[in-house]
Copies of this chain bind each other. A is one copy, B any other.
């Protein structure tokens, strides 16, 4: 029987979107880390909740807060969850530069909080993601 539930996953993202640090800390561990795919300027490990939130802020700034995640499905186990989301956005100041990718986030949980997240992108979306964040 899974101890991680789809509801927890939904709550964790809702807390993240609220921007409220107290709410966020209920679902995301202080010592968490997050792995951004691709080889663009955002790629790589973001260490700590502060590193992760800094990454989220950068996504917001570079996309003029147009970045939008739509959940397609969520799977869970006793220690992990995987949610598939369609992510869309456009670059701030450059509406012709569009992103439309489907990603999976694999989250690791401990005591009801996310301790690690790793993203991966379907189809040819990694190339699109690299180009979206590129200065070119």
Query: Which of A41, A120, A121, A134 neighbours the largest number of chain B CB atoms within 10 Å of its CB?
Result: A120
Residue of B nearest to A134 (CB): B39
Count of chain A residues near B, Cβ 8 A: 41
List residues of chain B with CB within 8 A of the CB of A41.
40-41, 134-135
Given contacts A43-B124, A103-B120, A124-B131, list 18 more A-B pairs with CB under 8 A: A37-B126, A38-B134, A39-B124, A39-B130, A39-B136, A40-B40, A41-B135, A44-B123, A44-B135, A75-B77, A75-B80, A75-B81, A82-B82, A84-B106, A118-B122, A119-B122, A123-B136, A124-B134
Can you report 23 A-B residue pairs in the complex whose CB atoms are below 8 A from each other?
Answer: A2-B2, A35-B122, A38-B126, A38-B134, A38-B136, A39-B127, A40-B41, A41-B41, A41-B135, A73-B79, A74-B77, A75-B77, A75-B81, A82-B82, A82-B84, A82-B104, A82-B106, A102-B118, A104-B104, A119-B122, A124-B131, A124-B134, A124-B136
